[in-house]
Amino acid sequence: MKYVVLTILGIGAVVGSGLYFGQRHNTASAEVRSIGSPGVEEKQVQEQATAPAQLHRSAPQVQVEKTRSVGIAPPEAPQEPARLDPSMVTRVVDALLSPQTSYDQKRAAWDQLRKGGHLDVAIAELQQRLSNNPNNADGAAVLGHAYLQKCGTSTDVREQGILAMQADKLFDTALKLDAQNWEARFNKAVALSYWPANMGKGDEVIDHFTTLIQQQEAQSQQSQFADSYMWLGDQYKKAGRLDDARSVWQRGAYLFPQDQKLADRLGAGR
């Protein structure tokens, strides 16, 4: 029983940390580069990418009466979540599943779903899509990510633990279907990195980030790949392998010289 409690509390720490997801950039580019998929028009891709930003445009504004007391400012009007437009959420889900949506735009989409209170609706749609197409690795990876996003909105430790373990299983499913699925491996490794040390996940986390870096270096560079070097170095540092940590950060900084987090780690001599 104690082991189970520690597991759930450890997963709760993932939620407390914010899971890093959505924090890498505060804004996303408004443009999406069309990859030219047959039968898909550029306009449709643009609609998918910009759909998240439209979720709050119809939010009703609450009018507040002016106070009669001199020198007392009227209270701020509470912001109500935007009225749910199912077709709008469907387009956001389309964007999250689309290979034509950038990493930063996906982060912005998650941010909009979470702040707008639409995660449950998005999760239901993702569950249905995965049920209809169980061999879709991206579908499993995105649904797993949705469960982690839901973790961050819950205050129930038991619910957090259940959601996080469901997410981990979905990442495993995605990786069985596609061992090159970057988001599934990255999100799984980040989540596991917050488990308590006595759960023995440290080596597994290092293995996932090491594999991820090997896969990345066989592909064209993408800005989010810098995060794998940062996280692997952090795991080495946590394990007391300081030389390995610095070596990984140096490799990442060489490949991504504009990444400030890697520069900060090297500059601090950590």
Which residue ranges make up each domain of the chain?
A: 1-25+43-51+83-199, 201-270
Question: Between residues 111 and 14, which one has the greater pLDDT?
Answer: 111
pLDDT higher than threshold 60 for residue 270: no
Residue 108: pLDDT band (50, 70, 90) is: very high
> Tokens representing 18?
């914010």
Select from 257, 227, 220, 197 the least CA-distant residue to 208. Answer: 227
pLDDT of 269 = 55
Percent of the chain scored above 90 by pLDDT? 61
* Residue 102 backbone class (left: φ over 0; alpha: ψ -120 to 50; beta: rest): beta
Domain spanning 201-270, CATH architecture: Alpha Horseshoe (1.25)
pLDDT higher than threshold 80 for residue 73: no
- Neighbour count for residue 176 (Cβ, 10 Å): 12
Record the pTM.
0.72
Task: Round the average pLDDT of the chain to a whole number and report it.
Answer: 78
36 secondary structure, DSSP code: -
Residue 58: pLDDT band (50, 70, 90) is: very low
pLDDT of 40 = 41
Do 1-25+43-51+83-199 and 201-270 share a fold?
A: yes
Question: Between residues 124 and 13, which one has the greater pLDDT?
Answer: 124
144, 174 Cβ separation under 8 angstroms: yes
pLDDT higher than threshold 50 for residue 34: no
21, 148 Cβ separation under 8 angstroms: yes
> Tokens representing 84?
């749910």
Percent of the chain scored above 70 by pLDDT? 68
pLDDT of 84 = 53
CATH class of the domain at 1-25+43-51+83-199 = mainly alpha
pLDDT higher than threshold 80 for residue 158: yes
Rounded CA gap, 23 and 44, in Å?
27
Q: Where are the alpha helices (DSSP H) in 193-257?
A: 202-216, 226-238, 242-255
